[in-house]
Structure 1
């Protein structure tokens, strides 16, 4: 097993401006009733890990960290998995920031990152992101790996009525975002279709180091699951 990589400690005040605190409060409030693994604890985890990845990558500029906190805090608000609208998250983030008095250029930049962060199928084209957006994307994707990623996949699948596993339904690797969102899948297939492919898609060396042990754990889980399902374990 790969040695665990420990993220650095982060000054709790780094990047936490009034606007960043407002964004975090908004993200937490939006997630308050979620029972799919995307609740307030998940929001805090993504914000914390995004800041820590940034610091590990050598970023300490408070303005840059503020941008990361805000993007991470808002990236799941009005998300497509709840609204069915791929544009809703970015639009909600922009409206919130404008309502808080943020400059339009800043709100537009954050919204553009949020529109491009999410996983929309392993074979779909990657969308351009800012440096801050790439770090937040890594934090979001790391939350889909390892023990937490497995639990979140099962929680989300159960919440939307997705079957845990169907041996007659193979994994499907979508070529378009529309096909990815429309496919009928299972929670186990989702781990294959999404989580298992994330390490090859990460942006930073720090995230790739963290992903190693999480990916190994995921693949051991999937091997054990298959063995038990087939009566070999």
Structure 2
């Protein structure tokens, strides 16, 4: 199993080598590490969790123009590693369940493995790392970074209200909820300091 994880890491590192939106290989590694940490207290199939965490952005509609093709490539890769069909199907479902999709993802995380992967991915969108990733993604899409009057619904700062500050309440596991508290608090401090520096009233 460790050999398969190592091969998957090598493949994802190559695929995401030039990624500039904050969904790079370092993000994948952090999600794997956080998911592994959560699994140590919440349980679940560690191999499944680590593999799905590594693959979770490969077929993301934000990052690929052909989601079906990307899913097919993942499926073929896993089948070539002689993974059972049901296991492959579960991995693909877990990947679908991870996505936030503006809070309207119809595929809900159900198994403990899916919940752990989703929590780990969302935790990486919070805290100091989450702030860096938010502005990195915004810049890649030519979004205005700051919009204190909230007249621009596409600004990166507005993204905090639209998504990032909502994530704490969406955590699925007890460990995820605990980890989210500190990261959520840091984002609030960041916004408070940002407003102070710009002399903007709360």
TM-score, normalized by length of structure 2?
0.88
Task: Determine whether 1:56 maps to 2:25.
Answer: no
Does the C-alpha gap of structure 1 residues 79 and 126 become closer, same or farther in structure 2, counting only changes over 3 Å? Answer: closer
Does the alignment pair 1:73 with 2:58? no
Check conservation: 2:145, 2:155, Cα contact below 8 A. yes
**Structure having the larger proportion of residues in helix:** 2
1:120 aligns with 2:101: yes
SS in structure 2 opposite 1:51?
helix
Q: Report the alpha carbon displacement of residue 88 of structure 1 after superposing the two structures with TM.
A: 5.9
Structure 1, unmatched stretches of 5+, are 1-15, 172-183
Q: How far has the Cα of 1:93 moved from its partner?
A: 2.7
For the Cα contact (< 8 Å) 2:124–2:130, is it kept in 1? Answer: yes
**In structure 2, C-alpha distance between the alignment counterparts of 1:88 and 1:145, rounded to whole Å:** 30
Distance of 2:143 and 2:172 partners within structure 1? 30
Moved more, 122-131 or 197-206: 122-131
Asked if structure 1 preserves the Cα contact closer than 8 Å seen for 2:125 and 2:133, the reply is: yes
SS at match of 1:82: coil
Give the Cα–Cα distance (whole angstroms) in 2 for the partners of residues 84 and 164 of structure 1. 25
Larger deviation, residues 131-140 vs 94-103:
94-103
RMSD over aligned CA atoms reads 2.4
Say which of 162, 165, 169 aligns to 2:143.
162
Assess, with a 3 A threshold, how the Cα gap between structure 1 residues 76 and 123 changes in structure 2: closer, same or farther: closer
C-alpha change, 1:232 and 1:167, in structure 2 (3 Å) is closer
Query: In the alignment, what sits opposite 1:147?
Result: 128
Count of residue pairs the alignment pairs up: 202
TM-score normalised over the length of structure 1? 0.77
Which residue pairs with 1:201 in the alignment?
A: 170
Shift of 1:230: 4.1
After TM superposition, give the deviation of residue 187 of structure 1 in Å.
0.9
Quick one: structure 1 residues 111 and 185, their matched pair in 2 at CA, closer, same or farther if it must change by over 3 Å? same
Residue 24 of structure 2 corresponds to which residue in structure 1?
A: 39
Give unpaired runs (5+ residues) of structure 2: none
2:23 and 2:97 map into 1 onto residues whose CA distance is 18
State the shift of 1:39 in Å. 1.7
